[in-house]
Structure 1
Amino acid sequence: MFTALEVVTTVVVGVMVGVEFSVAFVMNRIFNALPEDSDQLGRSHGGRMLGAVMPFWYIGSLVLVAVWAVTGWGHDGAGLVVTAGSLLIVSVIMSILLLVPINDQGKTWTPENRPEDWKEQMNRWDRFHYVRVAVIIAAFAFLVAALA
């Protein structure tokens, strides 16, 4: 049962990392290359769609890691799991304080009501997101190392 917890947790966190990596380095670049208002419309739609799912995914990942850390205390790699959990806490705090406020505004924008500085706000969100992606990649790497 413990092995199943390790594998499920690693897969859930790994897929989350893949989605966030894809947003940062694939989807946003695709959106940026689209003509006229398509970039802003794509980001707004993505903000609504992923904004509804990601809170559960981040918190769910953190809960799985916490359960792994508690049930695996004393096993090899427990410190790595705790480190991964700490990094996931950092990513949740970053999300709440830095990314969600921008996303909450951006997901309501249309070409008619968006602010003049919408591109600067999206660029700021991108910079924060790059850091968050690095944090969750590190958390994932610690989980994988804990399995070894």
Structure 2
Amino acid sequence: MKELAELCHTVANFMPCPQGFNSAKGLLSDVRDYFPLMIDKIQECVDEGLNLKYSNTSEEVDNETIKKWHSFFIENQEKYCLSMYYQVNENRINGITFFKGQSLSYPCPLEKEEVEECLKNMLDKINERADLILKKYNEEHKSNS
């Protein structure tokens, strides 16, 4: 937990995202602020042509906005070094979950083993992304020299 707290406010744990995305991610009871689950939620809304409805409120995000978010994550996965969080296959996005069995119907780890797996995978993904960002930065600045 201490290591996660230290990494939470690092560049590798922040990412650009479309307007309104982050607040929606934090307000959906089946997403619980997990990025890979939000990816799955976006794909679900695109597949079903649905608006994204916030939990316990009448507010929602229209399907056209959801489609723009979907395109953003397809177009920017490599640019923002996000391949450890979701896959892109044939114009579809699929979240890579933090623990076995994690889904929109089971978003939070409940068993000790699930919590441990979730924390380990969160840390591994942040560190992997940090390495990718640094590698990309070094390659871009080497070619500009």
- Band the TM-score falls in, shorter-chain normalisation: 0.3 to 0.5
The two structures have a TM-score, normalised by structure 2, of 0.37
Structure with bigger gyration radius? 1
Structure number with higher helix proportion: 1
TM-score (norm 1): 0.36
| Greater share of strand | 2
Higher relative contact order (CA 8 A, sep 6+): 1
